[in-house]
Chains A and B, each alone.
Chain A
Amino acid sequence: MDSIEQRVKKIVAEQLGVNESEIKIESSFVDDLGADSLDTVELVMALEEEFECEIPDEEAEKITTVQQAVNYINAHLKKA
């Protein structure tokens, strides 16, 4: 099974319509990958679906890079 990082990158690529090879762990969705505010909301929705979790709005707002998404998922999945 793919690592969490790979799964996150795959979703980011699908949602934002960018090539997976362009996505680095430190990439910012808005600044580096051209996401708008609605894209970031959708991205969180897609992450919630992939990892079967619910990300509260105040947490979702803090997820602005691939690394932050991976960190959140790691922290959250351990609890499950």
Chain B
Amino acid sequence: MTATWSTLNGQVALVTGASRGIGRAIAMELGARGARVVGTATSDAGAEGIQTALLAAGIDGAGIKLDVCEATDCANAISDIETRFAPVSILVNNAGVTRDNLALRMSDSDWDEVINTNLKAVFRLSRLVMRGMMKARYGRIINITSVVGAAGNPGQANYAAAKAGVAGLTRSLARELGSRNITANCVAPGFIETDMTKALSEAQRDALLRQISLGRLGRPEEVAAAVAFLASADAGFVTGSTLHVNGGMYMV
């Protein structure tokens, strides 16, 4: 007998920040499991790249340009997806930015930019998809947080605050929407091989590896697999939780 994952056939997934890294891997994984996938990017080139990758993999979907901080654009995107495909049944809030600095040197704009993109936009997009999910009596909201939201990290007061905020938001959504068969969960990656971690120096990287039980950085696909689980019917009784994918760097 072979193990089979329940498919995501018939689902419509929206993945923000899908032009590269973890978001791209999530979009491809959900598509591979049968979902129609809309991936967002902040540039036209990014959107085209998503579109091309989906097409090449035979996945029905689209790459669209969207700045998640623009409220009107988000509302339009959600209704466009509904018209073109069906209401969003899987929302993956993945888009995020970093503006690292020691708290002492962190400007208000560094703080605001990270909070707006990584926290406020997550709330706003979640609110936009709720109506359709409530009607359908089914929905999956999956928010990508971070190990640093739980463990803290010097130089990332803004980022850690936003990610911890998303975890609290997610637990509240789980309680509000549970009676309508909508689950809300977080996936908290540790350090993953992406453009975001390529920015680390060799010394930073070595120090990091010593903290990770598995002795390596994670792969985007390993985060995507966790997201795909939470997006599936198999995870029907999991809500309000955080699935840590960090190689044993931080254990809760």
User: Do A and B truly interact?
Assistant: yes
Q: How far is the CA of A36 from the CA of B177 in the complex (A)?
A: 12
Residue of A whose beta carbon sits closest to that of B131: A45
State the interface size on chain B (CB cutoff 8 A).
7
Q: How far is the CA of A16 from the CA of B238 in the complex (A)?
A: 26
B54 to A: closest C-beta gap in Å? 32
Q: Does B210 contact A (CB under 8 A)?
A: no
Interface residues of A in 22-48 (CB under 8 A from B): 36, 38, 41-42, 45
Q: Does B179 contact A (CB under 8 A)?
A: yes
Q: How far is the CA of A42 from the CA of B179 in the complex (A)?
A: 12
Q: Does B135 contact A (CB under 8 A)?
A: yes
Q: How far is the CA of A42 from the CA of B131 in the complex (A)?
A: 8
Q: Does B217 contact A (CB under 8 A)?
A: no
Q: Are A38 and B179 in contact (CB under 8 A)?
A: yes
Q: Does B53 contact A (CB under 8 A)?
A: no
Q: Are B180 and A38 in contact (CB under 8 A)?
A: yes
Residue of B whose beta carbon sits closest to that of A37: B176
**Binary per-residue interface labels of chain B (112-150) against chain A in the complex, 1 for a CB within 8 Å, 0 otherwise:** 000000000000000000010011000000000000000
**Binary per-residue interface labels of chain A (38-72) against chain B in the complex, 1 for a CB within 8 Å, 0 otherwise:** 10011001000000000000000000000000000
Q: How far is the CA of A41 from the CA of B131 in the complex (A)?
A: 10
Q: How far is the CA of A36 from the CA of B176 in the complex (A)?
A: 11
Dominant secondary structure of chain A at its interface with chain B: helix
A35 to B: closest C-beta gap in Å? 12
Q: How far is the CA of A69 from the CA of B176 in the complex (A)?
A: 24
Dominant secondary structure of chain B at its interface with chain A: helix
CB-defined contacts of B180 to chain A, threshold 8 Å: 38
Q: Are A45 and B176 in contact (CB under 8 A)?
A: no
**Binary per-residue interface labels of chain B (158-194) against chain A in the complex, 1 for a CB within 8 Å, 0 otherwise:** 0000000000000000001101100000000000000
**Binary per-residue interface labels of chain B (78-105) against chain A in the complex, 1 for a CB within 8 Å, 0 otherwise:** 0000000000000000000000000000
CB-defined contacts of B135 to chain A, threshold 8 Å: 45
CB-defined contacts of B177 to chain A, threshold 8 Å: 38
CB-defined contacts of A45 to chain B, threshold 8 Å: 131, 134-135
Q: How far is the CA of A41 from the CA of B180 in the complex (A)?
A: 12
CB-defined contacts of A42 to chain B, threshold 8 Å: 134
CB-defined contacts of B179 to chain A, threshold 8 Å: 36, 38
A76 to B: closest C-beta gap in Å? 20
Q: How far is the CA of A42 from the CA of B180 in the complex (A)?
A: 11
Residue of A whose beta carbon sits closest to that of B130: A41
A43 to B: closest C-beta gap in Å? 11
CB-defined contacts of A38 to chain B, threshold 8 Å: 134, 176-177, 179-180
> What 3 pairs between A and B have smallest CB-CB spacing?
A42-B134, A45-B131, A38-B179
Question: Can you spell out 11 A-B residue pairs with CB atoms less than 8 angstroms apart?
Answer: A36-B179, A38-B134, A38-B176, A38-B177, A38-B179, A38-B180, A41-B134, A42-B134, A45-B131, A45-B134, A45-B135
Binding site for B on A (CB under 8 A): 36, 38, 41-42, 45
Known: A36-B179, A38-B134. 9 other contacts (CB 8 A): A38-B176, A38-B177, A38-B179, A38-B180, A41-B134, A42-B134, A45-B131, A45-B134, A45-B135
